[in-house]
Copies of this chain bind each other. A is one copy, B any other.
């Protein structure tokens, strides 16, 4: 059942650009390794910024672009896999650093499905809109991956980037823009294939002091790729079954920018028109939950996605999950 939801504005914040050659020289990798194996030419890494700082900048910019104030927003959702503090939740930290963060009492909640957090938040927002209690929802994905990277793991070292994106979604009763369908499946046989093992209650700081191995992101790339190849057809068949659309009908597919090989799975599995699948991996890296909204924003900015286009945002995430939302922009 279609639901009234319109993307009314974007905002973003990118910290300092780091080229692959800078990274390769700094950590002693062969020049060209990053682009060849990770597919990333440059990405952005924080210097002084926090998740809250970047998220607030992106959020304020989205509101400015929409000509709205925070007090017009019914709900602020932080949809991210990384955070400034274990407590409080990240949305509270972002809100407190926004221009009207103290004067407005907008509720601030977090949604986390790791790399799919934006997709999940978009689906939940579409279900909340009622033109009464919920008119505008601001979804903020602010991700810092660069701190939890083990420099001796070249794949993750060169793959990940930092970024914040804010997406203002609004109730639009014209239904010109609308939500068509959303869904996720969690395939738990892959739960251990992408993790940060230390830093929560399981390997608590008090007993496990910092080590790049324990406190950095680890992924079993080969196994994740195998899972993606195996499960994506199952997921897509289920997802499109009663959607009223075929994959080949879509104007744009904005996948999570998981990795060079991960991004290739979709085009290997499906015979799609050139240009339908959007990617910003080469210039941004994998920005966790910020990847999808950033690629969407950038494709709209250069005119590759226009109002009325039918778009699929979809991807895999640590956990291991596959999810997607189909919508008319």
**Chain A residues close to B by CB (< 8 Å):** 1, 50-52, 76, 81-93, 95-96, 101-102, 105-114, 120, 124, 127-128, 130, 132-133, 144, 147-148, 183-189, 191, 194-202, 204-206, 209-210, 212, 215, 217, 317-321, 323
Contact = CB atoms under 8 A, between A and B. Distances in A.
A114 B89 contact: yes
A52 B319 CA distance: 13
Given A96-B188, A108-B188, 13 more contacts: A84-B200, A88-B191, A92-B186, A92-B319, A95-B186, A102-B189, A107-B321, A107-B323, A108-B319, A108-B321, A124-B127, A205-B210, A206-B212
22 contacts: A81-B87, A83-B200, A85-B196, A85-B197, A85-B199, A86-B199, A88-B194, A88-B317, A89-B318, A91-B113, A91-B319, A92-B188, A101-B188, A105-B187, A108-B113, A108-B186, A109-B184, A110-B113, A111-B111, A127-B128, A205-B205, A206-B210
Contacts of A320: 88, 92
Contacts of A130: 1
Nearest to A231: B105
A236 B174 CA distance: 34
A217 B110 contact: no
Q: Which of A102, A107, A128 is packed against the most chain B CB atoms within 10 Å? A: A107
Contacts of A185: 105-107
A104 to B, nearest CB: 8
Contact of A201 (B108, B128, B147): B147
A319 B85 CA distance: 11
A221 to B, nearest CB: 15
Given A186-B108, A195-B85, A201 B96 contact: no
Q: Which of A96, A112, A120, A206 has the largest count of B CB atoms less than 10 A from its CB?
A: A112
Given A111-B111, A113-B110, A318 B202 contact: no
A296 B153 CA distance: 47
A116 to B, nearest CB: 8
A319 B191 contact: no
Contacts of A81: 86-87, 89
A295 B297 CA distance: 45
Contacts of A107: 113, 183-186, 321, 323
Contacts of A317: 88
Contacts of A147: 201, 204, 206
Given A92-B188, A133-B183, A206-B147, A87 B102 contact: no
Contacts of A144: 201
Contact of A111 (B84, B110, B194, B202): B110
Contacts of A114: 87-89, 92
B95 A202 contact: no
Contacts of A93: 191
B194 A87 contact: yes
A83 B321 CA distance: 18
Contacts of A206: 147, 210, 212, 215
Given A89-B112, A92-B321, A83 B184 contact: no
